[in-house]
Chain A
């Protein structure tokens, strides 16, 4: 490359101008089968992905975005988790 910045990726050295990364902007342990939480870091539905780590072996919740707030609740017909970690990752 003649200028700019390259970084080491899973596919070798790549120019940063054409890359997207995955950045963990929020990780929080939650209890309860429903609730809502404000996510920092400019995360909204269009730029982020949501993952759950369930700590009690039950079913991860359904969730929805409203701006930068995530609301969660249990699915019908499944025993909902009340002990889980919510992880929000921005990719753009």
Chain B
């Protein structure tokens, strides 16, 4: 860089610069779901536009996406809704703020920086096997809904498929696996796509 601000971590990855707004905590909160289906699950509305939602998963907790809502396996979750620093109020009094070339705020010390772990994917396999992956973080944000359809198990018998939500479940302190619940019917085909998510610390 020839001018401006840049802070990198020990892996030479940019943490803060004067080009792009970092995500900071808007409001930690709990969300309470509405009973969904007959398997003891709960539905939650999507977060407001302009925010990303990270869900805290304890061992056993699972959260997933459909096109229009979240489905989880417990009624109350703690979440972190984060927003770009550019949408947070301008700090006053003391501290430091960094602005980009177009005048948008990209970082301010009055916010709390969200600290990211890494990006992962989990998959559902045709025989309903859900291979575990190694993840030790507890906060997850699912990228988006991906299509997974499982057969009803009556091949050639005019059965139907079940569309299952795209999600992740923490199965131990160091492992996660795919999590999803049936929320819609479909033609009897098998379609499998991984669920991609990022973690926060």
Task: Mark A residues whose CB is within 8 Å of B.
Answer: 5, 7-11, 14, 16-25, 41, 46, 49-55, 57-60, 62-63, 75-78, 85, 89-92
Contacts and interface: CB of A to CB of B under 8 A. Distances in A.
Contacts of B13: 20, 92
Contact of B115 (A19, A51, A57): A19
Contact of A8 (B15, B49, B86, B109): B109
A27 to B, nearest CB: 8
Contacts of B41: none
Interface of B: 7-11, 13-17, 19-23, 25, 28, 49-50, 52, 67-68, 80, 82, 84, 86, 109, 111-119, 141, 143-147, 149, 163, 186-187, 191, 193, 196, 198, 200-201
Contacts, number: 129
A78 B22 contact: no
A10 B115 contact: yes
A24 B7 CA distance: 16
Contacts of A85: 49
Contacts of B117: 20
Given A21-B16, A60-B145, A78-B147, 17 more contacts: A7-B109, A7-B113, A9-B114, A9-B115, A16-B7, A16-B9, A17-B10, A23-B22, A23-B23, A24-B22, A25-B20, A50-B144, A62-B193, A77-B149, A78-B67, A89-B52, A92-B11
11 contacts: A7-B15, A8-B109, A9-B113, A10-B80, A10-B113, A18-B10, A19-B113, A21-B114, A41-B19, A78-B67, A92-B11
Contacts of A62: 146-147, 193
B123 to A, nearest CB: 15
B147 A21 contact: no
Given A24-B23, A24-B84, A76-B191, A19 B143 contact: no
A7 B19 CA distance: 18
A5 B7 contact: yes
